[in-house]
Chains A and B, each alone.
Chain A
Amino acid sequence: MMKNTLETVREILAKKYSLPIESVTPEATLESLKLDSLDLIETLFEVEDEFHIRVPQDRGEDVTIATVQDIVTVVNKLILQQHPAPLAGAQRL
């Protein structure tokens, strides 16, 4: 079944930390979900497997991840960097 990045990230967070899915909104801060920096590292580890991407050790000083949407933004950026097929497809049109 096809799922978008946001839905997949929401499901990972809800399942891993036993959170009601409706609380895991894009705007929800990790702090409000009672997730700390170690939880974020573990979440990114699962996200890497799910999307077949690798989050670089140096995420860059300008990248702060405070909300669920921030995770989605980072993931989408990495998907396009590491799996450029969608971009290549666009060029063929």
Chain B
Amino acid sequence: MAGQSGIHLVSADGPAGQHFGLAAPVLFDPEQHFAPGQKTDSLDRVSQFSLAAAGAALRDSAIPVNTDNAGRFGVSLGTGMGANKSLEDAYIQLLLRDPNRMKPLTILTVMNNASAAHIAMQHGLSGPNLTYSCACASSAMAVGEAWRQIRHGYADAMVAGGAEAMLTFGGFKTWEAMRVLAIADRNDPSASCRPFSKNRSGLVLGEGAAMVVLEEREAALRRGARIYAELVGYGSSNDPAHITKPTVDGQARAMRLALADAGMNADGVDYVNAHGTATALNDVTETRAIKQVFGGCAYRLPVSSTKSMLGHLLGGAGAMEFVIAVLAICHRAIPPTAHLDVPDPECDLDYVPGVGRHDQDVRCVMSNSFAFGGTNAVLIARQADT
């Protein structure tokens, strides 16, 4: 809320040198999250993040998992690149060291569904187990599709969210090669990610996981669950023209579909957590898409990009930002777009620059996620009517 960012100058070692760059790393001590003796050798960092977040979400939900409900309790997880570090280490071993000494569990560690599999194993969940990989929309899709599993009657509850752990030598180098990473602010590296600001220079990589427990509404009410919000709309569309270039119409369509799904008009939305990557292309396109959908209301609508502080969690971003949007309802507070110092004439909405706003009437929120590859996913949540 204070506009403080977790972005730092970091370094990563690789076999061909060291990379210095910007990132928002998670200070993660596995010992805090795993019991002594629990086998973590074959858990990539992304799966460790996933297990930690899912465990916290399940504990918070207080749903007991037992033989009666386990079959109707599933997992839906999104990740862009999955076990990036373990895959990278495997290729270093394969190509630079000894291809006959591959770690025996490499496949089980790097498969994209490893995180979801371990969540289900740890908690004994035997309902649908799904993994979505659509780049930066992965975990928004995972949440939306989990919701459909419940709405369409295939499950009663789902652990849903996503994770990414791509702050590796190869992760940095491949993103750097695409020339979309932010240039470091010489005076304050933590201020290097500036969504919607005229002087924005690109995205900053983040990492982490975010998980929610979705439960069928009546069941949650019956057991007196603590309900953070009600997920009421999910819209998904695709921009098929180009692998990275978004379109106003594609993004707007996903927002409209989510609104239609929720059975509401645009003027009912109180806050939008934007995709807001701080790239030249996204921020202008998203601004135009919001204007197309919200019309005259667009200028009164608070829209912020929390990537200015958390960096871009890629496959984990959609779930993390959905959680932030839901917490905006719970805390009646709107998080800011940090480091927005120089207005861009093409980005002229209320981006909540600098610091967040308290005591806000936030009853309905929208979270936007738009991906390389074209996938657009939009989630809408409303204050629970209990």
**A18 CA to B39 CA in the complex, in Å?**
9
B121 interfacial by beta-carbon distance below 8 Å: no
Contact: A17 with B37, CB < 8 Å? yes
Contact: A38 with B105, CB < 8 Å? yes
A45 to B, closest residue via Cβ: B104
B41 interfacial by beta-carbon distance below 8 Å: yes
Chain B 86-109 against A: per-residue CB contact (8 Å), 1 yes, 0 no? 000000000000001101110010
Contact: B36 with A18, CB < 8 Å? yes
Hey, which chain B residues are within 8 Å of A17, CB to CB?
Answer: 37, 39
Hey, which chain A residues are within 8 Å of B100, CB to CB?
Answer: 54
Hey, which chain B residues are within 8 Å of A16, CB to CB?
Answer: 41
**A54 CA to B101 CA in the complex, in Å?**
10
Interface size on A, residues (CB 8 A): 10
In the complex, number of A-B residue pairs with CB atoms less than 8 Å apart: 20
Q: Which A residues from 29 to 57 make CB contacts under 8 A with B?
A: 38, 41-42, 44-45, 49, 54
Hey, which chain B residues are within 8 Å of A44, CB to CB?
Answer: 104
Contact: B105 with A42, CB < 8 Å? yes
If A18-B36, A45-B103 touch, does A38 touch B108 (CB 8 Å cutoff)?
A: yes
**A44 CA to B41 CA in the complex, in Å?**
15
Query: B-side interface residues toward A, CB under 8 Å?
Result: 36-37, 39, 41-42, 100-101, 103-105, 108
20 contacts between A and B (CB under 8 A): A16-B41, A17-B37, A17-B39, A18-B36, A18-B37, A38-B104, A38-B105, A38-B108, A41-B104, A41-B105, A42-B41, A42-B42, A42-B104, A42-B105, A44-B104, A45-B101, A45-B103, A45-B104, A49-B101, A54-B100
Query: A-side interface residues toward B, CB under 8 Å?
Result: 16-18, 38, 41-42, 44-45, 49, 54
